[in-house]
Amino acid sequence: MGDKLPEPHASSSPAVAASAEAEEIEVLDSEDVLPMAAEDHWKALFDQFDPDNTGYISTEKFRSLLQRHGSELDPHKLEVLLALADSNSEGRICYQDFVNLMSNKRSNSFRQAILQGNRRLCSKALLEETGLSLSQRLIRHVAYETLPREIDRKWYYDSYTCCPPPWFMITITIVEVAFFLYNGVVLDRFVLQVSHPLYLKNALLYHPQLRAQAWRYLTYIFMHAGIEHLGLNVVLQLLVGVPLEMVHGAARISFVYVAGVVAGSLAVSVADMRAPVVGSSGGVYALVSAHLANIVMNWSGMKCQFKLLRMAVALICMSFEFGRAVWLRFHPSAYPPCPHPSFMAHLGGVMVGITLGVVILRNYEQRLQDQTLWWIFLSIYVIFVLFAIFWNIFAYSLLDLKLPPPP
């Protein structure tokens, strides 16, 4: 601890000049700046260069720090930090940028914004930007709808190119509507299709007697009880799923959606063993539950307008759809002794949303494999899937359950 950093140039910002009036600041030993150190250690390091707690240090001191300890940093992080120092026209570095780059943040969009010089990420908030085009206002709106931190919103705003577009949610919605229209023509019924005597003969829905046909655990999402069922699911997955896919990408959002779908059908096979299941509610409830939970957990940071009212509306819609499913399940069946489709898929989707879904949405631009909660919830999900598979193989015969005949 004996090395001194040089004094800042006279042209530095007022905040840096104020810092220069203090005593010369010592550099922490190399063991205090390991890239995996806790945030309080990074704060202690930064405070060494910012005794007035302005939140900034001079680019000169910042560059000296990188030169001294660059060998201990990930080469990719070092590249981005040097680009940040070289491109900063204000003569100072923001502490928040430093912390986010040191906390295993994937920095592709940040690097792109710095190297292309599109904007200074430490400038005013996005809501204060003026003269934006319609597409830019849409991107800004999506950022405020889904991300709780301003720096993440700025990084997303700078990097989003709509290439690829949110294809997954749009494609799955089109396919669901197409299958519904086809079934409506074949059955000559669009309202409460599920009450048609031939409804269960479709090869896509899940039926307990046909549970060995593994594709049914996924393809049941293309069958809906009626237009009232399809309509609410489509509205929710477009209003919530498309913005989430624009921000988090098709891979992550499709994973949450499909995991909710599989959990939904498996939950029915375990908890409501005699009932079939139809509809995309498992995937939809996984996405919506994850989004609502993320808003609640980051309430102060979420800047979407009328968030309390909109959460109430979303919960009312979900409750209405769930109530419809419960009523239908216990309504006298149109094809006895087989009951109407189960509502347990909704609950399976919710459980996926508040576990795996929340971890994904809370870690924008971060590697999931670095998150302990991700591995915990993923392990629980895998254990549940394996348990449900063994349950479907052995429990039905051991319990001597009388199932409805195959359609």
Residue 57's nearest CA partner among 22, 17, 86 is: 17
Residue 53 clears pLDDT 90, i.e. is over it: no
Cα end-to-end distance, the chain, whole Å: 79
- Domain range annotation of the chain: 38-106, 167-399
Residue type, 93: I
Residue 104 clears pLDDT 90, i.e. is over it: no
What percent of the chain lies above the pLDDT cut of 90?
42
What integer is the mean pLDDT of 8-26? Answer: 37
Instruction: Give the pLDDT score at 113.
Output: 44
- Tokens describing residue 273: 């063993």
Identify the CATH number of the domain defined by range 167-399. Answer: 1.20.1540.10
CATH of 38-106, one of 3.30.200.20, 2.120.10.80, 1.10.287.130, 1.10.238.10: 1.10.238.10
Residue 73 clears pLDDT 80, i.e. is over it: no
25 to 32, 42, 97: CA distances (angstroms): 15, 16, 21
| Per-residue pLDDT tens over the stretch 106-123 | 444 444 444 444 444 444
Confidence bin at 80 (pLDDT 50/70/90)? low
Contact of 253 with 287, CB cutoff 8 Å? yes
pTM over 0.85: no
Instruction: Give the pLDDT score at 241.
Output: 93
What integer is the mean pLDDT of 202-225? Answer: 94
| Per-residue pLDDT tens over the stretch 89-100 | 566 777 666 666
Q: Which of 71-75, 154-158, 161-165, 243-247 has the lowest mean pLDDT?
A: 71-75
The listed range with the strongest mean pLDDT (20-34, 44-58, 356-370) is 356-370
Instruction: Give the pLDDT score at 19.
Output: 38
Q: Which residue has the higher pLDDT, 136 or 15?
A: 136
What integer is the mean pLDDT of 328-355? Answer: 92
- Tokens describing residue 106: 């994937």
Confidence bin at 69 (pLDDT 50/70/90)? low
Q: Which of 349-353, 377-381, 396-400 has the lowest mean pLDDT?
A: 396-400
Catalytic positions, written as ranges: 281, 346
Q: Which residue has the higher pLDDT, 78 or 317?
A: 317
Burial of 247 (0-12, 13-18, 19+ CB in 10 A): buried
| Per-residue pLDDT tens over the stretch 120-167 | 444 456 676 777 888 888 888 888 888 887 777 877 887 788 888 999
Burial of 398 (0-12, 13-18, 19+ CB in 10 A): exposed
Contact of 39 with 96, CB cutoff 8 Å? no
**How many C-beta atoms surround the C-beta of residue 191 within 10 A?**
11
Instruction: Give the pLDDT score at 39.
Output: 55
What mean pLDDT, rounded, does the chain reach?
Answer: 79
Residue 161 to residue 195: CA distance in whole angstroms:
45
